[in-house]
Structure 1
Amino acid sequence: MNVSYDVRIWDIRRNASSKTPSYVVRWKVGAKERSKTFRTKALAENFVSDLRQATRKGEAFDLATGLPSSMTKAADAGPTFFDFARSYMAARWVHSAARTRETMTYALLSLVPALVKDLPGRPDDEDLRAVLREYAFLPDWRRGELRPAHKAALSWLEVASLPLVDLLEPAAIHSALDAIALRFDGEPAAANTVRRKRAVLHHMMESAVELKMLSANPLHAVKWKPPKATGTVDPRTVVNPDQVRELLDAVKHVGWTRGPRMVAMFACMYYAALRPEEASGLCRQNCDLPAQGWGLITLEKARPQANKRWTNTGETHDERGLKHRAKDDTREVPIPPVLVAVLREHIEKHGVERDGRLFRTSKGRPFSSSAYSAVWQEARRLVFTVEQITSPLAARPYDLRHAAVSLWLNAGVPPTEVAQRAGHGVDVLLRVYAKCIEGQRAHVNGQITKALET
């Protein structure tokens, strides 16, 4: 490598030929002048500072690149973790659902601010997370105007982020794991949250290996035990049919129009075990509602809710295929006469939207999760005792689905049929609802007693 110690560095100057503000750093190595343009003055000042520190340390400058040996090594180290995270999000955007995009970003809000050098001028963590959430991880067409504080935060991250290859060092990957184990307020995160964030980090590292940016997945080289997640439904959340009937009746009396419009939606979550996003996407053409006997719901689409910055449409609800199924797959759910009657009454009173959707506000908008959760909590207050209100009993609308599946299993419906109706795999079904299947303990105890007496 041809080097020189003859280095001259000039002051930063504003690029007058650029329409958007930019700043030019000029320096000379031997007889050859060099220049580099930066979007912000802070980035330019950081670059000049690195050059001057190298000259004070007596480093040789490469004549080919114009950079000192320390900066040449840094340039050869590949992308920073922040750069890789941005390219990872861009590559995954098209193929991911809105909720998945939100989950990936939430993990990176913990990881990116943790995997940085100890440089002066670190912005507040909230400013770092805000610029990641509202700008850096969004596609160009979805980004808004950067506020001054966020510009400074972005500039600092671009300079301070660790090289991706540094994650091969145990100390760096442990820093990443420590970060995902905590909430933003410093308290321990829930077990399921930690596991979701680690899954994102693991997939990122596997992608880096596949792209030959890392020689191996650094997570495989460290010992780290994730917190245990229950993975099963708490039987204390499960309501019985009488309690469901009382709750549905109470929903009718919450608000002028909101509660009455939600009764049939909650009924679908219980009598048909629909997920909230499946109920949100339910249309009249999906429902066979005979005057007598059992009916049939044929599910085609779901409308999960997410922050609108992550959806394709910019709305809070995106239309998606059914969970755990192929894009155009459907699921048939036979529904009992009680639900048939509820749906027929709902359609008669409230009609349907132009696209056939059953459940929406008086203005035709889908119900937000906060809206139907608030109605549900008010119904619980109208029906339950003080002790029940503070208990996990039907604490969330989603617990209606858990109650439905538990009822079917305890009624003796074959697990294969329950799994088909609920949209589960049989193995997942039995694992998740293991604690909600009643009557087995007495049967097993009887078998043991019989064996002991033999």
Structure 2
Amino acid sequence: MRAIVYSRTSHLTDRQRSSILDWAAEQPQNGLALRAFLASIALAALRPKESLALRVRDMEFADDGRGWLLVHPQAPERCEKDSDCAGDVRRVPLCRQLATILKEEAIRRNLRPDDAIFVLDDGRSLTAQIYRNVWWQARAAILEADEIDLSLGRNVSDLRDACIAAWLKNGDQTVAHILAVAEWAGMSAPRLAERFAPCLRMPTRDEIPWDQIEAAMALPDLPSDSKSAPQRP
């Protein structure tokens, strides 16, 4: 069964996301570290706090250049309202582009398995204030004035939203696919459908499971040998 579109929305495009990552990489201080951090949000839909918690040991690479990121549950007091904090470690698909960026970052800084992936070049922690300032600068440098006025990409987490939207739009949008995207994003399927309804297309008439709907709504057949109700005297 397909999901239904309710309204329209807009997310950062692939071109805008790529331009922002390129802009970050070109910065004279911490450029490559910032590019890698933003890429983990833009290409794996991680929350910023989840990215900062990643260790080298949390990366799994496959022979085809892809892989997985192992995202550990956050403490309950740090969970976002759209997340499912309880449960096992979340496995998030790692595309070739992000896998290459993370491998290069680990080699560049000679990281060990227990090291955090995203820190500044001098070893200091990458704080929210630092990456937000960089984000605002990148947004101002890349987006058009009217896009900024429309609040496009207002927060770093908009990179995450754009990635989730791309996962939904580029899939077959079956129930199984939507459930998989919800699991990758670390949120419930109902919350995903609510927040990203405009990314789910309207089913065609041929795709609507009429037989299943009619069967579910059909009244039970009355037994043919049922006795008539007794008559009052």
TM-score by length of 1: 0.39
Q: In the alignment, which residue of structure 1 is the partner of 2:105?
A: 346
Q: Give a deviation string over 1:377-415, Cα, whole Å, max 9, x none.
A: 111222222222333222211001100111111112511
How far apart, in 2, do the equivalents of 1:248 and 1:233 lie?
A: 29
Residues 377 and 433 of structure 1: CA distance in aligned 2, closer, same or farther (over 3 Å): same
Equivalence map 1:184-333=2 (5 Å)? 235-236=9-10, 238-254=11-27, 256-290=28-62, 292-300=64-72, 302=74, 324-326=84-86, 329-333=88-92
Uncovered stretches (5+) of structure 2, i.e. residues with no partner: 1-5, 209-233
1:282/1:301 contact within 8 Å kept: no
- Structure 2 CA distance for partners of 1:257 and 1:350, relative to 1, 3 Å: farther
2:132 corresponds to which of 356, 363, 373: 373
Residue pair 2:119, 2:125 contacting (<8 A) in 1 also = yes
How far apart, in 1, do the equivalents of 2:113 and 2:187 lie?
31
Aligned partners of 1:331 and 1:406: how far apart in 2?
19
| Alpha-carbon distance, 1:292 to partner | 3.5
Query: Does the 8 Å CA contact 1:347/1:358 hold for their aligned counterparts?
Result: yes
- Give the secondary structure class of the aligned counterpart of 1:359: coil
Q: Secondary structure at the match of 1:263?
A: helix
1:107-126 map, 5 Å: none
In 1, the alpha carbon distance for the partners of 2:39 and 2:159 equals 8
1:296 Cα shift? 0.9
Candidates 401, 407, 428, aligned match of 2:191: 428
Instruction: Give the Cα–Cα distance (whole angstroms) in 2 for the partners of residues 374 and 252 of structure 1.
Output: 15
Name 2:202's counterpart in structure 1.
Answer: 440
Identify if the C-alpha distance between structure 1 residues 269 and 418 changes in structure 2 by more than 3 Å, giving closer, same or farther.
Answer: same
Q: 1:4-33: CA deviations, max 9, x gaps?
A: xxxxxxxxxxxxxxxxxxxxxxxxxxxxxx
| Pair 1:303–1:400, CA change in 2 (3 A) | farther
Two-structure CA RMSD over aligned residues (Å): 2.9
Identity %: 25
Q: Which digits, 9 at most, give the CA deviation of each residue in 1:416-438, with x for residues without a partner?
A: 11011111111111011113x15
Query: Which structure is higher in RCO with an 8 Å CA cutoff and minimum separation 6?
Result: 2
How far apart, in 2, do the equivalents of 1:303 and 1:250 lie? 33
Superposed CA offset, 1:152-204 (max 9, x none): xxxxxxxxxxxxxxxxxxxxxxxxxxxxxxxxxxxxxxxxxxxxxxxxxxxxx
CA 1:434–1:263 in 2, change beyond 3 Å: closer, same or farther?
Answer: same
Q: 1:337 aligns with which of 96, 104, 107?
A: 96
Q: Note the C-alpha offset of 1:258.
A: 2.8
Q: Are the equivalent residues in 1 in contact too, given 2:40–2:46 (CA < 8 A)?
A: yes
Moved segments of 4+, more than 4 Å:
301-304
Q: TM-score w.r.t. structure 2 length?
A: 0.73
Q: How does 1:87-236 map to 2 (within 5 A)?
A: 235-236=9-10
* Residue identity in the other structure for 2:144: T
Q: 1:299 to 1:427 in 2, by over 3 A?
A: same
Equivalents in 2 of 1:428, 1:235: separation in Å? 16
| Contact 1:272–1:333 (8 Å) recurs in 2 | yes
Q: How many residues align?
A: 193
| Secondary structure of the structure 1 residue equivalent to 2:91 | strand
